[in-house]
Amino acid sequence: MQQFLDNRDVSVDVIDFIELNNDQRREKVNSDQRFTALMEARKKAKSFRGSLVWHTANGTEHLMRSYYDSTGARRQKVEGRRSPATEAQKADWEASRASARQTLSARQEQMERQSAVNRALRLGRVPLIAARIIRAIDDAGILGEGIRIAGTNAIYAYEAAAGVFVDPGITTTEDIDLLMDARQSLRIMAGTNIEDGALINLLRKVDRSFERSSATFRAVNRDGYLVDLIKPVTNPAWKQSRATIGKADDELVAAEIAGLTWLENAPAFEAITIDEKGGPLRLIVPDPRIFAAHKFWVSKRADREPIKRRRDLAQAQAVARLTGQYLEHLPYEATELRVLPQAVFEEARHLFERSEPTH
């Protein structure tokens, strides 16, 4: 049976957050709004993927639509014979597509200017390699749809939502944990040109040097940056569950880790964060209350390296205090926390009680 250490009597260290100044707050709001507008423009432009062309069959011209369905498969549909109505339909479609492309281009330029402002104000937090991986996962349609960002990188979402900076000693990391929801079918969207729909090949589009390591759940690039694919322990043990995303021979195979069921079942928490070069990106992570309770539980595991246990505890304390002080709409008593075992919930309660702001 797994042995645990007793951290209940460990005093919570004094944790200081650096709040954004007025200039940083203003530009963080501007950045979020412009990023949201950019995402809407990209979605609109994507809706015009495909074409409307004239196609002749048996001597008669028809308007033929080529498009992508909800699964990403390319389809064709006859809109009707050539007529004033179909000619007007084609002209309207082409005008709308051109307008969508112009809007997208304008918002991309606006975002580039905003990114420069973000850099100048030192708003960038997410390491560039992690940001590129997260964007690739988002573009592939699996961020929040079977993949969540877990581990240390999740803290960037919590601090962004709170409008503070957490001690870099707590957030600095040279790896990223991708939490796979093995309960659902994951598929990288068609049209992304990812060979075999494989996660390892998606990573190679970010950095060609990524290779699967001897630990088949892990990819590593030439700089030693690690990407781990993880999932909860299957329960019951004999039950089969999904462990891969694609079909490549060297595809990553998710490692089963105890306690991840709580993160898998946690409500999703989404925030817009900023990378080291000032570019915004979405992060979808587990609820911060469950993250903190899980980290506290991990910090007590006797098989965990002592130095990692202290870091786990520091992260649990920081996220709990941040949640209590700045994310007041997420009380620790919320019914959503029933995904935690009662013992785990109760053992972490003191972190949140001590993090309550004093008035």
For 55-108, write each residue's pLDDT tens digit.
998 889 999 998 776 666 778 899 999 999 999 999 999 999 999 999 999 999
Average pLDDT over residues 216-221: 98
Measured CA to CA, the distance from residue 246 to residue 277 in angstroms comes to 31
pLDDT exceeds 80 at position 301: yes
Q: Which two tokens stand for residue 19?
A: 């709040």
pLDDT band of 241, cuts 50, 70, 90: confident
Measured CA to CA, the distance from residue 314 to residue 146 in angstroms comes to 28
The pLDDT, as a whole number, for residue 4 is 56
The pLDDT, as a whole number, for residue 300 is 95
pLDDT exceeds 70 at position 6: no
The pLDDT, as a whole number, for residue 200 is 97
Average pLDDT of the chain to the nearest whole number: 91
The pLDDT, as a whole number, for residue 120 is 98
Q: Which two tokens stand for residue 143?
A: 């961020």
Task: Note whether 79 and 52 are within 8 A (CB).
Answer: yes
pLDDT exceeds 70 at position 332: yes
Q: What is the pTM of this model?
A: 0.89
Average pLDDT over residues 265-293: 97
pLDDT exceeds 70 at position 262: yes
The pLDDT, as a whole number, for residue 237 is 61
Of 43-57, 150-164, 177-191, the range with the highest mean pLDDT is 150-164
Measured CA to CA, the distance from residue 352 to residue 328 in angstroms comes to 11
The pLDDT, as a whole number, for residue 353 is 83
pLDDT band of 8, cuts 50, 70, 90: very low
Q: Which residues pair with 179 in a beta bridge?
A: 148, 230
pLDDT exceeds 70 at position 331: yes
- Higher pLDDT residue, 305 or 355? 305
Task: Note whether 178 and 149 are within 8 A (CB).
Answer: yes
- Higher pLDDT residue, 168 or 1? 168
Q: 317-333: string of b/e by CB count within 10 Å (b at 16+)?
A: bbbbbbbbbbbeebebe
Average pLDDT over residues 166-184: 92
The pLDDT, as a whole number, for residue 351 is 95
Measured CA to CA, the distance from residue 259 to residue 192 in angstroms comes to 33
Measured CA to CA, the distance from residue 15 to residue 242 in angstroms comes to 39
3-state helix, strand, coil in the chain (%, to 5): 45, 20, 35
The pLDDT, as a whole number, for residue 184 is 78
pLDDT exceeds 60 at position 13: no
Question: What percent of the chain clears pLDDT 70, i.e. is strictly above it?
Answer: 91
Between 60-69, 219-228, 238-247, 279-288, the lowest mean confidence (pLDDT) is in 238-247
pLDDT band of 359, cuts 50, 70, 90: very low
Bridge pairing between strands 226-232 and 218-220: antiparallel
pLDDT band of 354, cuts 50, 70, 90: low
The pLDDT, as a whole number, for residue 9 is 44
